[in-house]
Structure 1
């Protein structure tokens, strides 16, 4: 009996070592799987979805005349989808309509809609035109891209133009809700569809976005709106997704980021590169995603940085942008 006890005592350190080693391997594997999930590298190995076959022949794109919206319209057209283009500038709408038709041979319809007038008599009239435009069409994809931000970093008490807040809330929040509600009935009736809402990585990768508080709040709404709709409509064959890009090389980003700050180290994809990745993510059931690989890696790295460090860095950079604006003013 004493020999058996001695044997067990001698064996126990090895048992502890092996147990800890196994736990360590499992932990590393879990972290690796988490990083793989965030980075989306596994998705890069999959073939892109045939959006036209899976969802329908038409896509609705809001804010398609510049930046991400224009590139998304061109990319969806390249994938064979006909387009309903919704925006406020008739000349620019005609331009993108001709561009997608000539480049990819798809049909394109335009709807004039100033989203800052949503829920006003003019906005109700425009919403009626949109409903009429999509009636009878097999709308399979909706991209809610239209969005506005304050033109510069500012403290809340310094912004005297309350109407600017109202416009931002109407475009970023209210219009996204109403356009989605207008397109969903047809998708529900057909039992298939995809809704893609363009949010902001600034509200996902960063704990705060100081000096752009109202903008960040409206984009946070888009995230939770999308998450809830994802659960609500998944059983009806409709995929709802919030795509939350970090900085993309657009006019809006130029106004929000200074060359001396983030642009010295951050990688900003072009709108074309972003749209290529974004279209690939449609149909993969992620209620929230960052389609661009460099954005996902930045998001992953930000999770290892304490919130107070991110907050102070973002405040410092936005204060620098505010100072530059004040000098120009």
Structure 2
């Protein structure tokens, strides 16, 4: 009986020790991959990188960051003048060491055949080793689902789902021929159920970003055997025009800060949060009950919705 009591006393201690060791290992691994693990040499994948949504925000910052690493660039966006301006800025900063091409594609309007044919023609003969699917379309402000115009909702789906799908399909054959490459799909905390249980008033946008997470997970398993590293990077809030955030903070990086963090993670985990303070935010979000988090997000977006509607109303009055 005494031996049984001793075992009953020791077992919780052993379980606690194992749990502590597990937590310590996880913490040490996080420190390693976040701060100490060396980034991969992206030129090993190929001499050219293709970036969608390359004229604003994260996409533009990634273009400049990749150029600083000596990669040649193929920029994709829907605005020819912005593409020309961004290309000139990169050439001016990095000179003849970096070649820059661009392709005009409007993912919200061009069909799948047009997207694939434009990219195949644009990258013909290029050693494309890295693809970053960054282009996305969001809401101007939070809206109930019935308030989103059908045409605009269709544009969001086409830009966010069709874009990443058909660009990937067009570039994969190049990587398969040489049996190496890397694809990075920029997701969002809005579309990851492991971060937030729901994203009210941004329903269509959040659903398209959820597609990107599953798309990335699935094809990463399909093509790992061919030497192609496929990853979904998930930013939380970043100070971009799309997020309607101007000021940066510890938890809200500039696009340039996020881009620097992004490059360190390419070629590693299938799903990741590159900007390390976002990992701390994730720990807090996971500790909150889903019901409370749903309520909090809904209340916050309702307030943001009122501000957006007022801003839109004032804009319409000024235009008249």
Normalising by structure 2, what TM-score?
Answer: 0.91
Aligned to 2:261: 277
* Residues 73-102 of structure 1: per-residue CA shift (max 9 Å, x gap): 111111111100011111211122122223
Match among 280, 292, 302 for residue 319 of structure 1: 302
Aligned to 2:132: 143
| SS of residue paired to 2:51 | strand
Question: Which runs of no fewer than 5 residues in structure 1 stay unpaired?
Answer: 1-8
Matches for 1:4-15 after TM superposition, within 5 Å:
9-15=1-7
Match among 62, 65, 68 for residue 52 of structure 2: 62
Q: 1:41 to 1:302 in 2, by over 3 A?
A: farther
- Specify the structure having the higher radius of gyration (Cα): 1
Q: Partners in 1 of 2:285 and 2:250 — Cα distance?
A: 12
After TM superposition, give the deviation of residue 10 of structure 1 in Å: 4.2
Match among 196, 201, 204 for residue 189 of structure 2: 201
Match among 83, 108, 125 for residue 93 of structure 1: 83
Q: Partners in 2 of 1:167 and 1:35 — Cα distance?
A: 42
Aligned to 1:152: 141
Match among 4, 15, 22 for residue 14 of structure 2: 22
| SS of residue paired to 2:230 | strand
* Residues 225-253 of structure 1: per-residue CA shift (max 9 Å, x gap): 00000110011100110111001000111
Q: Tell me how many residue pairs correspond in the alignment.
A: 308
After TM superposition, give the deviation of residue 36 of structure 1 in Å: 5.3
User: 2:167 aligned with 1:176, yes or no?
Assistant: no
Normalising by structure 1, what TM-score?
Answer: 0.88
Q: 1:301 to 1:246 in 2, by over 3 A?
A: same
Q: Is the 8 A contact 1:40 1:296 kept in 2?
A: no
After TM superposition, give the deviation of residue 43 of structure 1 in Å: 3.6
Question: Which runs of no fewer than 5 residues in structure 2 stay unpaired?
Answer: 314-320
Q: 1:175 to 1:254 in 2, by over 3 A?
A: same
Q: Partners in 1 of 2:283 and 2:66 — Cα distance?
A: 28
Q: CA RMSD in A?
A: 2.0
Q: Is the 8 A contact 1:61 1:83 kept in 2?
A: yes
After TM superposition, give the deviation of residue 41 of structure 1 in Å: 4.7
Matches for 1:37-76 after TM superposition, within 5 Å:
39=30, 41-53=32-44, 55-76=45-66
After TM superposition, give the deviation of residue 290 of structure 1 in Å: 0.7
After TM superposition, give the deviation of residue 189 of structure 1 in Å: 0.8
Q: Is the 8 A contact 2:115 2:166 kept in 1?
A: no
| SS of residue paired to 1:98 | helix
Q: Is the 8 A contact 1:144 1:196 kept in 2?
A: yes
Aligned to 1:166: 154
After TM superposition, give the deviation of residue 21 of structure 1 in Å: 1.6
Aligned to 1:4: none
User: 2:117 aligned with 1:128, yes or no?
Assistant: yes
Q: Partners in 1 of 2:202 and 2:50 — Cα distance?
A: 29
